[in-house]
Structure 1
Amino acid sequence: MPITAMLDVHFAADHLADGPAMFAEILKDTRNFAGCLRVDLLADLDDPAHYVAYEVWESNEHDLAYRAWRQGEGATQLRDVLDRDPVLTKFETAVQS
């Protein structure tokens, strides 16, 4: 069953220009990872530091494999440009329209 993962991040004030560009570049690898169905980078209209990666995965197992890869070989420097820890929330579809 597909799942949706949302990674909520806040960029440090001195990384408002380069941080989102770095995140967009990182998400290219996410899109190409096995089981990734979709990735969008959402920008908060009221807060230029706040972004959310909206990811749809074929299954929770695919997402878990991706997260494990990001902890090892696929690690990035994203945390270096954030002002707090990112928050990952996963969802399953409760009602489909």
Structure 2
Amino acid sequence: MAVLVNLQLRVYPEKREEASGFLKRILPDTRAYEGCQGLHWTENIEDPSHIELFSLWDSKEQYDKYLQWRQDSGVMEESEAFLDGDPVWRFFRVDQTY
């Protein structure tokens, strides 16, 4: 069953460009990862330091496998340089698509 993953990030305003460069570098590999059907990078209109990523995956298991790969690669530690707080993950089962 497909799952929509919402990853919420808050970045230090003075590190926004660094965060942007980081995401531009790593997100193509996310999109190419097995099980990823699509990916959107969004920024809050009123607060650009609040970034949310929305990705659609074949299953939660596929996302978990991807996340483990990211953790093993050191990407999570690298992101700590610009994150203002812990990332927040939310997972939604996709019941209907229109």
Alignment of 1:73-88 (within 5 A): 73=73, 75-76=74-75, 77-88=78-89
Map of 2:38 onto structure 1: 38
Partner of 2:92: 91
Q: CA RMSD in A?
A: 1.3
Deviation at 1:95, TM superposition (A): 4.5
Q: Distance in 2 between matches of 1:32 and 1:53?
A: 15
Aligned AA for 2:57? W
Cα deviations by residue, 1:8-65 (Å, 9 ceiling, x for unpaired): 0011122022212211221111011110000110111010101111110011110010
Aligned length: 96
Gaps of 5+ in 2: none
The structure 1 segments of at least 4 consecutive aligned residues displaced by more than 4 Å after TM superposition are none
Q: What is the aligned partner in structure 2 of residue 63 from structure 1? A: 63
- 2:3 is the alignment partner of 1:26: no
Q: Which residue of 2 aligns with 1:16?
A: 16
Pair 1:37–1:96, CA change in 2 (3 A)? closer
Which has more helix, going by share of residues? 2
Q: Normalising by structure 2, report the TM-score.
A: 0.89
Q: Which runs of 5+ in 1 are unaligned?
A: none
Letter in 2 for 1:17: E
Distance in 1, matches of 2:6 and 2:80, equals 16
